[in-house]
Amino acid sequence: MGRGDTHQKNRERRRNGNAEQHGYFPRYVALQIKRADGKWFHPGLTSPAACGFVQARGEFLLRVGALQVLVVGAGVVGLAVARAAAVAGHDVIAAEAADAIGTGISSRNSEVIHAGMYYPSGSLRARHCVRGNRLLHAYCQSRGIAHRKCGKLIVATSAAEQDKLEAIHRQGLANGVPGLRLIDGKTARAMEPELDCIAALHSPETGIIDGHSFMLALQGDLESHGGAIAFETPVERIARAGSGWRVAFDGRDAGTLEVDAVVNSAGLRAQTLARQIEGYPAERVPRLVLAKGNYFSYTGRPVFTRLIYPTPVDGGLGVHVTLDLAGRMRFGPDVEWIEREDYEVDARRADQFYARIRTYWPGLRDGTLVPDYCGVRPKLTGPGEPAVDFLVEGPSAHGLPGLVNLFGIESPGLTSALSLADDIVAGLVR
Ligand SMILES: Cc1cc2nc3c(=O)[nH]c(=O)nc-3n(C[C@H](O)[C@H](O)[C@H](O)COP(=O)(O)OP(=O)(O)OC[C@H]3O[C@@H](n4cnc5c(N)ncnc54)[C@H](O)[C@@H]3O)c2cc1C
């Protein structure tokens, strides 16, 4: 049976609401109402009998799922989790405070499909980045999402940096990153003639992606598997309700919703929301440290065809050359530790950008960089402290069934999204 057939069957199964026939017994039946504007509204849960009544009036579409799952946040990670849960046959709503998908961290990044060579072996970042890279390239291919495996060079401009490069190479091999190759400066210059370096690490599996198209495809999959996104619906509080959760939300359709499982994928607000979860131990909520990453765009003709990275710095991967799918060049992100969110790029930071970029591209001319955009990393550690892993807090960590909190999902969260989502959804039914 093809995938299309399976999906069709799933849809029919939900419409029929015939749980017994299909071998599972929902604790609740979920109602979703199709409004005049074509959007789905999910007012809550009710008994099968009540559903039968309203269904008989012909105004509602009845859907029954294995689990009622609420995902908080429709950034790339929340969307990937919601999609994976819907594909697995659950009834899924994603509640999003904003009026569109991906308006948070997910719209303010480098749109790089990372390969996974930086992160410690066995870490979630290593595992999900390496696997996520493969899944994401395949997903882009199958869904016609604009992307390009342009490759990347990490460059060393001094002996000390060369040692760092070799360490990254060893780490990449340990993480199972395919195709990594250490090359000398001459070989690197043959690939990118404007480059000045004594050695480089070539990663052919690194690429770039149109992040918004990726998120649209995730939303499309979610909806075609019966899920929905409730926009302008900020989740305010979450409390235990039987073996599940009662979620209180504000906004357009303020109210409460009872669900079996909640995934907190609220990005920069994940900690704020976790503090509003009844029974969630306060000491399990990690501190949030904000590290802004500023970008400057380059106004001249692009000179590189690959992504060019210096060796990493405290808090980030160093001011690197990123390319968009039209081949335009921009530089960033740097690391600016901040107390509260702000999205202004200070033009005075250009001086540091020129200095850093000229270490590997001496040909950069004055007056060619202009402030572009910035993003804010939801870090869990601060300046001078070792970087830490993604923090995925599920029932095995905190003991509360059907609850997953995602903290510190900074880079490579975009690359990791599909892989992370698979694990999180598998964990919901364990
Ligand atoms: C500067 C920078 C560069 C990066 N570059 C890369 C890169 O090149 N490659 C890569 O793989 N990764 C990169 N990343 C990381 C990647 O962008 C993030 O890991 C990813 O976007 C996080 O997605 P998210 O869904 O967790 O968060 P978000 O996109 O922030 O989504 C969270 C959503 O939750 C919503 N929300 C918050 N609170 C509530 C609430 N109470 N109720 C309802 N909704 C709520 C928000 O409105 C938001 O839409 C970068 C990050 C930064 C900051």
254/295 same-domain check: no
Which pLDDT tens digit goes with each residue over 71-123?
999 999 999 999 999 999 999 999 999 999 999 999 999 999 999 999 999 99
CB-CB contact of 42 with 19 (8 Å):
no
Q: What separation in angstroms does the CA of 281 have from each of 200, 255, 312, 398, 406?
A: 46, 25, 35, 8, 15
Q: pLDDT at position 430, please?
A: 63
**Is the CB of 371 within 6 Å of ligand 1?**
no
**Is the CB of 207 within 6 Å of ligand 1?**
no
158/271 same-domain check: no
294/278 same-domain check: no
Q: pLDDT at position 21, please?
A: 26
What is d(CA 361, CA 375) in angstroms, rounded to the nearest whole number? Answer: 24
200/222 same-domain check: no
Domain membership of residue 251 (yes or no) is: yes
What is d(CA 297, CA 278) in angstroms, rounded to the nearest whole number? Answer: 45
Q: pLDDT at position 9, please?
A: 40
**Is the CB of 307 within 6 Å of ligand 1?**
no
In degrees, to the nearest 5, what angle opens at C-alpha 109 toward C-alphas 415 and 129? 15
Report how many domains make up the chain. 2
Give the nearest ligand 1 atom to 132 CA.
11
CB-CB contact of 402 with 427 (8 Å):
no
305/185 same-domain check: yes
Distance of CA 70 to the CA centre of its chain: 17
Domain membership of residue 139 (yes or no) is: no
Per-residue confidence at 208, pLDDT binned at 50, 70, 90?
Answer: very high
Give the nearest ligand 1 atom to 415 CA.
11
Q: What percent of the chain lies above the pLDDT cut of 90? A: 80
92/72 same-domain check: yes
**Is the CB of 413 within 6 Å of ligand 1?**
yes
Mean pLDDT of 33-38: 45
Per-residue confidence at 398, pLDDT binned at 50, 70, 90?
Answer: very high
277/424 same-domain check: yes
Q: What separation in angstroms does the CA of 266 have from each of 74, 151, 173?
A: 8, 31, 33
Q: Which of 70, 106, 349 to mutate to test the pocket of ligand 1 (most atoms within 8 A of CB)?
A: 106
Mean pLDDT of 332-341: 95
339/300 same-domain check: yes
Domain membership of residue 273 (yes or no) is: yes
Residue 41 pLDDT exceeds 90: no
Going from the Cα of 77 to the center of ligand 1, the distance in angstroms, rounded, reads 7
257 bridge partner residues: 247
Domain encompassing residue 262: 66-106+212-285+389-428
Residue 321 pLDDT exceeds 50: yes
**Is the CB of 101 within 6 Å of ligand 1?**
no
375/409 same-domain check: no
Domain membership of residue 174 (yes or no) is: yes
Residue 84 sits in a domain whose CATH number is 3.50.50.60
196/216 same-domain check: no
Cis before 371 (ω within 30)? no
**Is the CB of 78 within 6 Å of ligand 1?**
yes
Q: pLDDT at position 94, please?
A: 98
Per-residue confidence at 253, pLDDT binned at 50, 70, 90?
Answer: confident
Which pLDDT tens digit goes with each residue over 151-188?
999 999 999 999 999 999 999 999 999 999 999 999 99
371/297 same-domain check: yes
**Is the CB of 95 within 6 Å of ligand 1?**
yes
Name the residue with tokens 């970008």: 295
Task: State the DSSP code for 225.
Answer: T
**Is the CB of 288 within 6 Å of ligand 1?**
no
Domain membership of residue 51 (yes or no) is: no
Give the tokens for residue 147.
């992307």
